[in-house]
Amino acid sequence: MSIKFKLGNLIRLTSNTEDHEQSCALPSSKVPYILSVDIGTSSIRAYLFSKTFELICSSQRQQTVHCPEAHAFELDPAELWSTLLVVIHNTIESARPLTVDDITCLGIST
């Protein structure tokens, strides 16, 4: 699945394996803000962008990588989830007066 979007009032989702498209209209009164989350091995980062892809703010937090044995690395799922929520919260707090309701798109990268 690929996501194509046009800044304005339309988001278009297309599938590479199926011959169909879905479109979602955004509320016309909303200015789109984009939250991008990068979940890495040692840290989680979030970036908030304007509709012109100007960086509004960002946040980052380290997470613990556990090494139970040689050449083995693990992340605690509960810690990962908690860290993700904190990073998103901190990013939105840094963007005041914007709120979570102003975010119209979320991208996640791992």
Domain with CATH 3.30.420.40 in the chain: 31-109
d(CA 95, CA 2): 28
d(CA 68, CA 61): 22
Closest CA to 59 of 31, 34, 93: 93
Domain 31-109 has CATH 3.30.420.40: yes
CB 58 within 8 A of CB 46: yes
Question: Which pTM does this prediction carry?
Answer: 0.69
Say what the pLDDT of residue 31 is: 77
pLDDT tens digits for range 42-69: 999 999 999 899 999 999 999 999 988 9
